[in-house]
Amino acid sequence: MLAKRIIPCLDIKDGRTVKGVNFVDLRDAGDPVELAEIYSREGADELVFLDISATEQKRKTLAELVYRVAEKVNIPFTVGGGIGAVEDVDILLKNGADKVSINSSAVKNPQLINDLAAKFGSQCIVVAIDAKQINGKWIVHLVGGKVPTEIELFAWAKEVEERGAGEILFTSMDHDGTKNGFANEALGHLSDLVNIPIIASGGAGNIQHFVDTFVEGKADAALAASVFHFKEMAIGDVKQALRKENIPVRL
């Protein structure tokens, strides 16, 4: 079995790391370059860097900040926010990103997934899906969770896999920032449905939540933000606990 991954997420707004609850009420969490360096040193398997206001403000991800982060880390580094064209990805990869994450732009133009996978390889393309439950259905939302669509999570996940995505980053908006655990039922269904890795996001509050999302949610990786940013738990402690539960991790 492949090792499960622990991935700190740096949500960036105006050049700073921020964190909220249910995608709102953002508060400052520090300098992204400093945090990235700390997480790389502490044993994170990867980093995700999301410029959360890039799409809403209709500008590109801050390539210079990507470069500064990439200089400080020696682990895979995924960047997202405001990516809408092949040229955007080219710039980010040249500035040190290993993978890119697309979300709103993929929903608006699904062919973009095909084009990016053909140009850069599926292993480089992560499709992020933000969804919340409405009337019993998981509904995909865009623009940092502000705009609901009529698209259903599981159908969209299957389509992005067929179009060439190499990985899915699923964030439950209902669980985001609540620290009540991941959306393991939905994650388990996603994992059964598609054959590409699923990154669980939204809801980490204690070490047991990481155990549960790998066992019950069948996730391939778990992403968290505030519990790491505000030093509520350490990556090494999470991994040691996972190892005790016979969940494979890199120590």
Give the residue numbers marked as catalytic.
11, 130
**Residue 74 has which token pair?**
């020696």
Bridge partners of 186? none
CA 104/CA 181 separation, integer angstroms: 25
Distance from C-alpha of 50 to C-alpha of 53, rounded to nearest angstrom: 9
User: Of 81, 27, 25, which Cα lies nearest the Cα of 51?
Assistant: 81
Phi, psi values for residue 204, rounded to 5° = -65, 125
User: Which three-class secondary structure state does DSSP give residue 240?
Assistant: helix
Cβ pair 83, 61 in contact under 8 A:
yes
- Spatial distance between the Cα atoms of 85 and 237, rounded to a whole number of angstroms: 39
Exposure of 74 by Cβ count < 10 A (0-12 exposed, 13-18 middle, 19+ buried)? exposed
Angstrom distance (rounded) from CA 92 to CA 116: 13
Cα–Cα distance between 80 and 11 in angstroms, integer?
Answer: 10
Identify the H or E element spanning 89.
helix 86-94
